[in-house]
Chain A
Amino acid sequence: MPQFNITVTKNLSNLNKLTKNIQSDTLSKSAANAFVTRIKQAINQRASFPSGELSKSIKSLRHGDSSSYGVTGLYYYWYANYGRRPGNPPGKKVKKIDAWASRAGMKGKSLRQHIAVYGTHKLLFHEVAKKLFKVDKPRIYKQLFK
C-alpha cells in the first residue's frame, strides 16, 4: 500500500492584514476591556456615519501564554485615526474602499481619486480613548505606553 507524507503549513500573512495590534499585551483583563470600551465610545462619537464594523472589530486579546491582555482592531484603524495626506491614491489592494464607495453610490476609482486630491481627516480616536482612560483608571494609565 503506498504511503504519503503530508505536511501542513500555516500561512498567516493574509490574516495579519486583517487585524492590527492597537495595544501590546501590557494590561490586565479588566483594564483591556475598559480601554476597548473607550475606543468604541470615541469611534461612535466622532465618526459621522459609523457602519459599526470598525468599532465591532476592536477586541481585547491575549497572545499565547501571556498573562496580560492587548487590544486589536481592523487594519484600517490607524488610517482612520491619523487620516491621510493628499497625494497618491490608495492602492487597489485596499478592497474596503470599493465597499465604502458602493455604499455611497460611487465607483471605487472615483473615491480613490477623491482621497488622492483631498486626503482624509484625522479623527484621533486613539488619543481620545487614552485621555478618557486616564480619567477612568489613572493609576494604571502608564501601562498603555509600555
Chain B
Amino acid sequence: MTGISIEEVESKVINTFLDILRNGLVDIKTPSRNTKYWIRSQVKVSESTPGLNKRTRVKSSSTPGFPQVVVCDFFETRELRTMKSDNYQCKFKTYYVLTIRILDKGSSAQTGKLAGSVQKVLFNNINTLQDNYIYDLSFSNVPLPGYSTDNMDLNERQIICKFKVAINYASI
C-alpha cells in the first residue's frame, strides 16, 4: 500500500470525484447533455512544481446551462496517525472535506433530487474511491438559501463529503 503523495492529493481527489460523477450522473431533462460542461471543478490545480501547486479559479460564466454540479473547496481538517506500522509504507490517514455545489434554477425540489442522485452515484462507486486511497466517506446534504444573479434566481444545495485519504509521507 503506497498512498498518494501530498503534492498530488488535491488534484487527484478532485479528478476522481469528477470522473465518478461524469460517468454516473445524467441530466433528466436533457440526457444527451455533455457532462464535461455541467459537472465541473471550480478550482483548477496544476502540479507544475512539487509543493507549489498552482490553483486557478474557473469562472462560472464559461460553462453554459443549468443544472450545474460544481466540485470545489477541498481542504484538510486534521491528521490521524493510525497507520504507523512497518508493514505499511503509508504512515498517515488524513481527514479531508470536499464540497459539491448543486445549482439549479426553477423549483428547489429538482435541486434536492439531483443532490440525492449525486449521493447515490458516490455510494455506488465506493470501490473506485478506495482504489484511489479515499476511505470512510460520509455525507451531509445541506439546503442553502437561494440567490439571484443578473438573469435568474438560483437554488443551491451543497453536499459536504468528509473522508480520509491515505497519504504517503515516505518520499518527503
Shortest A68–chain B CB gap in Å is 22
Tally of A-B Cβ pairs under 8 angstroms:
36
B158 close to chain A: CB less than 8 A: yes
A135 and B61: CB pair below 8 A? no
Chain B residues, Cβ within 8 Å of A131: 142, 144-145
B61 and A48: CB pair below 8 A? yes
B142 and A135: CB pair below 8 A? yes
B15 close to chain A: CB less than 8 A: no
B89 close to chain A: CB less than 8 A: no
CB-CB nearest in chain B for A46: B147
B42 and A45: CB pair below 8 A? yes
Chain B residues, Cβ within 8 Å of A115: none
Interface of A is mostly: helix
Interface flags, A42-67, vs B, CB<8A=1, else 0:
00111011000000000000000000
A33 close to chain B: CB less than 8 A: no
Shortest B73–chain A CB gap in Å is 5
Contact-residue size bin, chain B (C-beta under 8 Å from the other chain): 20 to 34
Shortest A53–chain B CB gap in Å is 15
Cα–Cα distance between A41 and B73 once the two chains are bound (Å): 7
B148 and A121: CB pair below 8 A? yes
A123 and B147: CB pair below 8 A? yes
Interface flags, B43-54, vs A, CB<8A=1, else 0:
000000000000
A124 and B158: CB pair below 8 A? no
Interface flags, B141-172, vs A, CB<8A=1, else 0:
01011011110000000101000000000000
Chain B residues, Cβ within 8 Å of A121: 147-150
A127 and B145: CB pair below 8 A? yes
Given contacts A48-B61, A135-B142, 12 further A-B contacts (CB under 8 A): A41-B73, A41-B99, A44-B57, A45-B101, A49-B59, A121-B148, A122-B147, A123-B147, A127-B144, A131-B145, A132-B142, A135-B160
**Could you show 7 A-B contacts with beta carbons less than 8 Å apart?**
A41-B73, A46-B147, A49-B59, A121-B148, A124-B147, A135-B140, A135-B142
